[in-house]
Amino acid sequence: MKKLLGIVVLGLLLITNVAQAKNIDVGNGITLDIPNNYKYFEINYKKLKSLLVTFPNLKKQINSKDFREGLKFFGVGNNSKLTILVENQEALKLVKKLSTSKGITKILKEFETLIEEPMSEFVEKAFTPDIIKKLEGMSSEKEVEKWVEKWFSEPDQAKIVEQITADALRSLIAKYKLYKYAMVVTFDKKMDNDTYNDLHTIGTNQCVFNFKCKNNKDFPQYITKEISNWAKKSPMYKDYLFEFNKTKIGINSNNDLFFYTKVVTVSDMSDYNSKGELLASTKNEKIIFAGSTCFENCDDFLKIIYEIFEPMGLLAKNIENKVKTTDDNNDITQQLKDLNELYKSGALTKEEFAKAKKKLLN
């Protein structure tokens, strides 16, 4: 389950700025108004890469042609920025440990220590005299390793190993009180031009993507299914179910497409479940991603991405800009008609429509 820990590690790697949060510049001309009780951490891709290449396996991947072409396609340059928000000092301690390769090694060692005893107990009980005799009769170490690997991958064993590693990870999270965090990623270069133009065909008759796109309402179902399918290709999430709700898609105040959803991950094989948000959009033809993850006491945290980005108009056009005004005597009838058309088109949610209508009538 090192891969699961790796996701947390990569999400918090090498923080270069640690500060009390107020208004922060996250790149691409975006300034976020962060709640005062949050602290933030930043790193650009150049500094992140300098840490990752100290690990031989990652260095080979990062320097590969396919990886470099992928960075160019999505618009990832040296000044692309990862910003992470956390709530408490204990989480900061974890971040400081993760700010160097030695610190990451220590955290991995700490994780291995947590799984060592329960894993040993499990193997001791599971390896019956018959299994031990079978292994002793094998001709080579390679044959033993192949058999053991296959044995661990079987459903009964895999379920127990999953639970042991999830318990260990949960203990590590509890130690550092990393029950919730949010991330914002901004790329510093323009994405592939053809792909950017294709994104803007969603909801039109010329839609080039591989799904039925009669209108914007077709896209959320398609993209949430694709997210789920993509995640399940990873061994870490293959046994998880993904529940999406409050999914929104539309054109924001920058006239760019945006996608937002809340997501719950649930697995019968583990208690390690989570809730969070996902946001994807562009600004100046550069990609913006944001997401939140919460493991415990999530009710006050599940709107953090929405509440940060919605006032900026990245999740929808500002209501004030959506309604046309007339020069003579505020033609309420026309404004209500315009408002209703926006609601029918899906550009406004039911709540936004009701709020704007009430404002007009009052």
pLDDT in tens, 108-149: 899 999 999 999 999 999 999 999 999 999 989 999 999 999
- Per-residue pLDDT, averaged over 5-33, amounts to 60
pTM: 0.71
Residue with tokens 């006239």: 255
Q: Is residue 346 domain-shared with residue 303, that is, in the same domain?
A: no
Question: What mean pLDDT do residues 237-257 have?
Answer: 81
Is the pLDDT at 12 greater than 50? The verdict is: no
Is 307 found in the same domain as 197?
yes
Convert the pLDDT of each residue in 84-114 to its tens digit.
Answer: 888 888 887 887 787 777 888 899 899 999 9
Confidence band of 332 (pLDDT split at 50, 70, 90)? low
337 and 274 within one domain? no
Query: What DSSP state is assigned to residue 310?
Result: G
297 and 347 inside one domain: no
281-285, 343-347, 349-353: which range is least confident on average?
343-347
- In this prediction, residue 59 has a pLDDT band, given cuts at 50, 70 and 90, of confident
How many whole angstroms separate alpha carbon 136 and alpha carbon 194? 59
Considering the domain architecture, whether residues 354 and 296 belong to the same structural domain is answered as no
More confident residue, 225 or 292: 292
Q: Mean pLDDT throughout 165-169?
A: 85
Q: Is there a contact between 262 and 244 (Cβ–Cβ < 8 Å)?
A: yes
Considering the domain architecture, whether residues 266 and 336 belong to the same structural domain is answered as no
Which residue, chain included where needed, has tokens 């790193």? 43
Residue 179: closest CA among 269, 275, 244:
275
Q: Where are the alpha helices (DSSP H) in the chain?
A: 2-12, 45-52, 56-62, 65-74, 89-97, 101-126, 129-136, 141-153, 155-176, 193-199, 218-231, 304-309, 319-322, 332-345, 350-361
Chain position carrying tokens 């914002």: 184
* CB-count exposure of residue 91 (10 Å: 0-12, 13-18, 19+): buried
Q: Which domain holds residue 342?
A: 323-361
Q: How confident is the model at residue 165 (pLDDT cuts 50, 70, 90)?
A: confident
Split into its structural domains, the chain has a count of 2
Mean pLDDT of 28-39: 82
